[in-house]
Each structure stands twice: as C-alpha cells, then as structure tokens.
Chain A
Amino acid sequence: MENGEYLCVLGPTGSGKTTLLRLIAGLLRPDEGAIYFDGKPVNRLEAHDRNAVYVPQQYALFPHLTVLQNVAFGPLARQKPEKEALDAAWKTLEMVRLSWRAKAYPNELSGGMQQRVALARGLASGADLLLLDEPLGALDARLRLDLRHKLRELVKQSGFTAIHVTHDRDEAMSVADRILVLRGGRIQDHGVPPRVYMRPSGIFVANLIGGANLLEGIVDKVTEEGSTARMRGGLMIRTPRAPLPTTEQPVILAIRKETVEISSRDIQRDNVLKGEVREIHFLGSFREYLIRLTNGDVIASRRFLEGMESEFKVGENVTAGFDCRDIIIFAYPRQGLRKELEIS
C-alpha cells in the first residue's frame, strides 16, 4: 500500500478479511511471511507499538467511559500529556460533529453516532494506519449509503492510510482507491475499481464484483479477427479473440448485465439472440430482465430509467444483443462452475 491510500478488502464471510486486519494490527502472528511498515519489518512488534489502529465491526467503544474519554484513550495510552490528548480528542469530535455529545456514554448513542465515535477514536489516536473492519456493517442500508462517502472524506482529510474491509461490493467500489478481492484466504484480484469491474481476473471476482452473466460454452473457431463459441443447443456466439485460443476448449463467457441490450425490434450488435422475458426485477433506478434464450440459457439485462411501467412484459418475445468487446472469456473452472462461485 502507498501512504495515504484508501484500500478496500472485499470478500465474503470467512474469506479471511478480519484475520488479515488482525495480522496487520499485531493481534495475531503470521505463520509465514512478513509485514513491513515504511520498509521496516513489524512481525516482532507488539500491537501497542505498531501504530495501526484496529476498529472492530461492533466498534468496541469502552462502555464505562464517556465519548470524550473514549476518543482521548489513544493519545493518553501513548503517554501524551493530558492537555494535548484532550485537545486532540475535542478536535476530532468536532470533525465528526459529535462534540455536543462529548459527555454521553456509548450506550446512549444511536448506531450511526457510535460509528462516528469509533472513527474519531481511531483518528485521534496519533497512529498512521486505520484498520476498519466492516465499519458500516452494523448500520441500516440507507444510512450506509449516506455515510460511506463521509467516512472516506474524514479519513482522507485526516491524512490517514486506511484499509476498509467489507462484504458489500457497492461500498467497496464507491470508496476505494484500490480494491483487493479475498476468498478462502487468498487474494483473487487487486486493482482500481474500474479495472477490477471491467476486467475481473476470474469468474469468482466477475460474479462478486458486478453481477455478470455467466454462460457455458465450447470454443468453436479461432481466427485473427475473433472467435466463436458454441453454446448449449448449438447456439453460436461471436467472441473476441480468447487469450487461450484452443478449439474445443470449454469456456465461460462473462457478459456484464448493463451491456446486454434488449428490444422488441431488430438491433445492431455483434451478437443478436432471440428470447422470451421470464422475470422482471424492479430495483429502483433500474430494472433487470431475465431472458430465456432459444437454447435454454438465461441472460440478464439491465435497463435504466424506464418509468412506472416496464417496457416489456413477462412472456414477451424480445431480441437481446451484445458486442464482442463486452465479453470476457474464462477457462471453464476445473472444479465446476457451482463450486467456483461458492463463497464458503
């Protein structure tokens, strides 16, 4: 990580995100490998000497101390003079707009406020690295939407380097400078959000990060301009030149839902397929149409800004289309598709 970077670690429950944070914090010792802060190895350093603050998911606010005492705990623990510690605490409380509750106890505050106190405590600590374990996990969905930007702003404003762990891909994508995708204790992908979203490194990441359509097929023909894949039922799909161009190789085609166009008329796309609308999901700003193609495969298409009534009805025949450049080809996973997508 670079100094000042805001890194999100994205992964399902049990993928090792919390363990990773606790290793960096010094609460656990690695069995192998090393951790370096500013080029200096910290493996042997104890938690209290590392300058990396761990903020657990349930905030771990000290119930017997006031908000102010909680926030001042860090500087006091590092033996700063009391006046200096309290000053830092007040300043941070003002930053999170909670100085009016300085004398309250944690259990008198709402969830969102407690989260801010936990953050303030970390920011006031004088540490360099902030380790946030699902910082918004305990909050309502709508509140999360509002607070995640504020969270990032506060961290950046204070000049911290931060690792923010979450299982929510929307959250990760919207606040991260870079994303690290974790699964089963292994890093599956890492990079800036657009890159991880557009060019995921694997099927698991493609599914986790953006809801891609995953269709099974076999490479049929490979030419200079591109290839074709033979799908279920003999349906042919034109694909970009695969990175592993061997005919008869079983592959998975990943197509992002928003790149699938559907219409009641003909459309101009590299691939045009006929199908029937099976399900419609309304999700507020967009609708998702599940279309059963003639060969039995189901493909999903996202349409934005439609209005009260959906443009298509269930059972209606439509044309679905997408371009070659919106398809990513992956080798068919050895253990099968279902196992590959499993999160536990």
Chain B
Amino acid sequence: MPKLDIVGVSKFYGNITAVDSASFHIEDKEYVCIIGPSGCGKSTLIKCIAGIISPDHGEILIDGEPVKQVPIEDRKIGYVFQDIALFPHMTVRDNLAYGLAVRSAGADHIGRVTNEMLDLINMRERSKSFPIELSGGAQQKVAVARAIATGSYLFLLDEPLGALDALVRAELRYELKQLAKDLGLTIIHVTHDQEEALSIADRVIIMKRGRIVEIGTPAEVYLSPKTLFTENFVGETNLLEGKVLEIDGGGCTVEVGPRTIKAIGPGREPDERVLVAIRPESVALKRASGNDGEEWRGKIRQVTFLGSLTRYLVETEEGIKLVAHATTTSEFDMGFHVEDKVGLVLEGKHMLLFSYPTEGLEKEIALE
C-alpha cells in the first residue's frame, strides 16, 4: 500500500534551484495537493518522484523502498499530465489498454480491464473515438482511467484540470476525489488553483521558489497559516502594518496607525514590527453610528458584486484601505453604495499576526 517519503530532494539547473531540500511524508490513501505560484517547483518535484527527472540530492522512498535507481517504467506510479497526452493515433480503447499491452497481458485480461475502465468513466459508447473527437474534460477522464488501468495505487496529477473551463474544473475535481476514495488511491495533485486544493485535499503542501513553505489541512492553512506567504496565497487577505504595544497571554495589542487592535499572536516582543492579517469575510460592515467608540470608521470606495458575496473596498478615516466581503443581502440592493459612511468591526479572534518580512512585503508575498 503506497506510502511516500520524500527526504531532502533538491534539483538544480545551472545556478537556478528548482527544488530546494523538499521533505514530507504521505500516508496510504491520502489525497495531497501541492500548490504554489508558477515556477515554484511543484511540477519538477513530482517529476522527480515519477522518475522523469532525477534529483541531484535526496531520497525518494515508496513503501520504504528507495526508488532513485528505478527507471520510470518500473516505478508503478500513475501519472496524469497537464496537456493530457493521450496518444493521438490510438482510439480511446487502445489508449486505455496501452499500460496492459506493454506488459504483454493476455487479450482477455486486457479486454476485461478496458471495459471496466470504460464503465468507470462512463464512456463505453466512445470507445472507438479518437482523442481529438473528445472534449477536454472527457479526454482528461480517459487519461486518468488509462493510468488507473495499469493497476497502480500511487498517482501523480500534474495540473490535471489546468486545460479545462472553470465550470468543468469545479465539477471534475469532486469526481477525481470520489474516484480516489472509491479505489483507495494515494494521490499527489499539483495545482496552481488554491480553491481546487482546499476543496478536495486531505492535506495541502504550499511551495514557493523551490521550497516547501507549509503543510497542513485545508482548514489549517486557510484559517491559521503559519507563514505570511501562505496566508496571502491561499485566499485574499488584508495586511495591516503595525507595532506591538502590549502583550497579554496569547495575544497582544497592536498599534495600527492611530488605532489599536487586539489580536491573537503568541511569542511576540514589544515594539516588534508586525503585520495583522484579516480576511475580507471577517471584516464586518455596519452603518456608521453617531457615537465615537472602538469602531473603525470609513467610506466605501468601491463596490463589486461577486454573486453570493459583495466585495467592498473601504478607506478608513486614517487612510487605511481594507477589503470586506458581505453576503449579498437581498435582490438588487447590495446594502452599501460608494461614498456611504460605514463602521468596521474587526474581530480579534479572526486576526493573525505575522512578523514583518525582512526582505520587504512585496517580495515576500510575490506571486511570480
């Protein structure tokens, strides 16, 4: 039952470090997503696992056995490519049968398994079609089934839904997850789409510039990430610069502009320069009340309709810009309009503290 261990894997191209000392463990039947911006090394990493590229350092162990010397064709890993890679000169059926045919399996066995696969993806009637006659989503299903047919239990998916429409992606990803669950597969799924990862992964690995930045469950990396990069990458967030004033217990008071915020943040020092992170959905808006209190006040600068949510860009009296999401209240009335005066409620328990990055904010959270 495939468990995977990656220990200190590195890959260099000249003086460019594509992968830098990556290490992690994946349990049997786990569905793990690796996410990160383009060029972060996620594709290179799984190519190392598959044997398509050989790493310069480190070990790869499948079920405890090191596989660095094992050629691609013997690693028994299913691989799904971003650009689909169905053999254009073969029918769907022949594509599905390929993995068995190259092992010289008997014709009966091949026929049986191929039919099973066709039923699995519901494409019996298209068994004689050529890849070019199918839609993108259908092609990718065939590619997945082709890999499953070889009998592997460990799968590497390299941006498998990258070439598909948003709507198809949103549907197919759940089908993939269900398939993995039904067949008991161990999956590493690489994607640049954080929503995709959050919705189906058991655990998420975040990479940046060749390094693994963080590993955690979707809820962990979204709601309580350990790094600033993760906080910004996994979803939109507001970042407020501030200075630590007081520390009490597991939280502290942070000075942001002329105001103060109480936030969760163990292990901080007084006078430390920090960033307060708060997600747009955690910024509550209400009509500006007359009394001057703990409330932050500001004006709506921009209103964007997002469907079930409405996005507000608010500029506070102190000139701080914040993005807030509010559920779209009712039909046609979005609640607030540009130039409205509003009060903002920033709940301490939804805020996170991060050290101000030494290399500067832009560089730290850069997406490319």
Touch between chains A and B, by CB atoms below 8 Å: yes
Residues on A close to B: CB < 8 A? 12-13, 110-112, 140-143, 145-146, 149, 167-170, 173-175, 193-195, 197-199, 207-211, 256-258, 281-286, 302, 304-305, 307-309, 343-344
Q: Which of B199, B305, B307 is within 8 Å of A281, CB to CB?
A: B199
A285 CA to B367 CA in the complex, in Å?
20
Whether B167 contacts A304 by the Cβ 8 Å rule is: no
Whether A143 contacts B199 by the Cβ 8 Å rule is: no
Q: Main secondary structure on chain B at its contact with chain A? A: mixed
Q: Which of A12, A281, A285, A307 is within 8 Å of B235, CB to CB?
A: A285
Whether B194 contacts A167 by the Cβ 8 Å rule is: no
In the complex, which residues of chain B have a beta carbon less than 8 angstroms from the beta carbon of A110?
Answer: 38, 368
Nearest 6 CB-CB pairs, A to B? A258-B308, A141-B193, A140-B192, A168-B166, A167-B165, A285-B281
A238 CA to B328 CA in the complex, in Å?
23
Whether A305 contacts B222 by the Cβ 8 Å rule is: no
Whether B281 contacts A305 by the Cβ 8 Å rule is: yes
Residues on B close to A: CB < 8 A? 37-38, 135-136, 165-168, 170, 174, 192-196, 198-200, 218-220, 222-224, 233-236, 279-282, 304-309, 311, 325, 327-328, 331-332, 334, 367-368
**Distance (whole angstroms) from the CB of A213 to the closest CB of chain B:** 13
In the complex, which residues of chain A have a beta carbon less than 8 angstroms from the beta carbon of B170?
Answer: 211
Q: Which of A140, A173, A305, A309 is within 8 Å of B38, CB to CB?
A: A140
Q: Which of A143, A199, A210 is within 8 Å of B307, CB to CB?
A: A210
A184 CA to B82 CA in the complex, in Å?
26
In the complex, which residues of chain A have a beta carbon less than 8 angstroms from the beta carbon of B308?
Answer: 210, 256-258, 286, 302
Whether A283 contacts B195 by the Cβ 8 Å rule is: yes
Whether B194 contacts A284 by the Cβ 8 Å rule is: yes
A257 CA to B308 CA in the complex, in Å?
8
Q: Which of B37, B200, B223 is within 8 Å of A308, CB to CB?
A: B223
For this complex, 14 residue pairs linking A to B, each with C-beta atoms less than 8 Å apart, are A111-B38, A111-B368, A140-B192, A143-B367, A169-B166, A173-B305, A174-B306, A193-B305, A282-B199, A282-B219, A284-B194, A285-B281, A308-B220, A309-B219
A206 CA to B135 CA in the complex, in Å?
22
In the complex, which residues of chain B have a beta carbon less than 8 angstroms from the beta carbon of A209?
Answer: 307
**Distance (whole angstroms) from the CB of A269 to the closest CB of chain B:** 15
Q: Which of B166, B306, B327, B367 is within 8 Å of A304, CB to CB?
A: B327
Check A112/B218 contact, CB under 8 A, given A142-B192, A210-B308, A302-B308. no
Whether B282 contacts A305 by the Cβ 8 Å rule is: yes
**Distance (whole angstroms) from the CB of A310 to the closest CB of chain B:** 8
Whether B194 contacts A142 by the Cβ 8 Å rule is: yes
Check A308/B219 contact, CB under 8 A, given A142-B37, A283-B198, A302-B308. yes
Whether B307 contacts A141 by the Cβ 8 Å rule is: no
A208 CA to B307 CA in the complex, in Å?
12
In the complex, which residues of chain B have a beta carbon less than 8 angstroms from the beta carbon of A304?
Answer: 281, 309, 327
**Distance (whole angstroms) from the CB of A115 to the closest CB of chain B:** 11
A145 to chain B: closest residue by CB: B236
Whether A141 contacts B192 by the Cβ 8 Å rule is: yes
Give the interface centre of B223, B233, B235, B307 by most chain A CB atoms within 10 Å: B307
Q: Which of B167, B219, B236, B331 is within 8 Å of A12, CB to CB?
A: B167
A309 CA to B194 CA in the complex, in Å?
19
A11 CA to B312 CA in the complex, in Å?
26
Q: Which of A143, A169, A285, A309 is within 8 Å of B325, CB to CB?
A: A285
**Distance (whole angstroms) from the CB of A306 to the closest CB of chain B:** 9
